[in-house]
């Protein structure tokens, strides 16, 4: 009876694996590599080996070879200067083949290495750097020099993007005005106080003691004539 039960279990498992192989094949043929890889991997390393697990292993090997070929093509495109499109393809490759053991780590390591390469970083960082640069220019146009100063500081973090380098030049100019620097520091301090205040508000119901500590931090840092200082004092009074 035990042998019959085992044979029945193996037959059911084989049928299940056949269905999984069929689903994986269909996913692969439709271009859903990520789903196909997950299905193949769910079978490939099971012991003892069966016809189905061997087929799953073979399919993973094929997927690994495909990914390496595509990675070589992407690397060529990056080195040719087609960074933005090639890196978008690299992200898709990383997403699709993240469950293929033999190649997933190589793709991720290559991606991280490329992000650290200055010519690649300059292209990848430029969209965000440009947004900060343009926002800084808008602040200057509105006469909000402290906000412009802080915005350029954010852009500076995105070097070597061209807009980040422009922001650094403008930041150097603005830094020569001590009033702008002092105003920016006051603005930064108030931003931090507002962030701390919001954290404290979320903790009032669940951790009132911690909330009170954060409200005291706001009182210590925010000038007494600011709305956030007054609001924090009121919150503390309500907690006592």
Q: pLDDT tens-digit profile of 170-209?
A: 999 999 999 999 999 999 999 999 999 999 999 999 999 9
* Residues 64 and 103: beta-carbon distance below 8 Å: yes
Phi and psi at residue 176, in whole multiples of 5°? -75, -15
Does the pTM of the predicted model rise above 0.85? no
Mean pLDDT, all residues of the chain: 92
pLDDT band at 15 (very low <50, low <70, confident <90, very high): low
Domain boundary pick from 70, 85, 116: 116
Domain boundary pick from 82, 116, 150: 116
- Per the structure, the complete domain to which residue 212 belongs is given by 123-239
Res 6: pLDDT: 45
Q: Are residues 149 and 93 in the same domain?
A: no
Phi and psi at residue 49, in whole multiples of 5°? -65, 145
Nearest to 164 by CA among 172, 155, 173: 155
Q: Are residues 112 and 131 in the same domain?
A: no
Cα 128–chain centre separation: 14
Distance between CA atoms of residues 215 and 12, nearest Å? 62
Q: Are residues 127 and 112 in the same domain?
A: no
Say yes or no to pLDDT of 116 above 50. yes
Q: Are residues 127 and 105 in the same domain?
A: no
């Amino acid at each position: 009876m035990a042998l019959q039960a085992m044979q029945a279990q193996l037959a059911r498992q084989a049928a299940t694996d056949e269905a999984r192989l069929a689903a994986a094949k269909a996913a692969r043929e439709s271009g859903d590599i990520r789903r196909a890889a997950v299905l193949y991997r769910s079978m490939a390393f099971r012991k003892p080996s069966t016809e189905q697990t061997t087929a799953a292993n073979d399919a993973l090997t094929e997927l690994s070879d495909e990914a390496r070929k595509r990675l070589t093509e992407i690397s060529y495109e990056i080195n040719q200067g087609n960074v933005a499109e090639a890196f978008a393809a690299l992200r898709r490759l990383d997403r699709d083949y993240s469950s293929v053991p033999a190649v997933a780590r190589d793709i991720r390591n290559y991606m991280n290495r490329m992000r650290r390469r200055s010519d690649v970083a300059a292209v990848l960082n430029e969209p965000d750097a440009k947004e900060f640069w343009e926002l800084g220019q808008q602040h200057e146009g509105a006469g909000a020099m402290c906000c412009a100063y802080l915005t350029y500081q954010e852009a500076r973090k995105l070097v070597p993007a061209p807009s980040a380098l422009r922001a650094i030049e403008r930041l150097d100019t603005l830094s020569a005005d001590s009033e702008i620097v002092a105003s920016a520091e006051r603005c930064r301090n108030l931003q931090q106080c507002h962030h701390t205040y919001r954290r404290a508000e979320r903790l009032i119901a669940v951790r009132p003691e911690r909330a009170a500590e954060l409200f005291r931090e706001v009182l210590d840092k925010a000038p007494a004539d600011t709305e956030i200082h007054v609001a924090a004092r009121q919150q503390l009074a309500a907690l006592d």
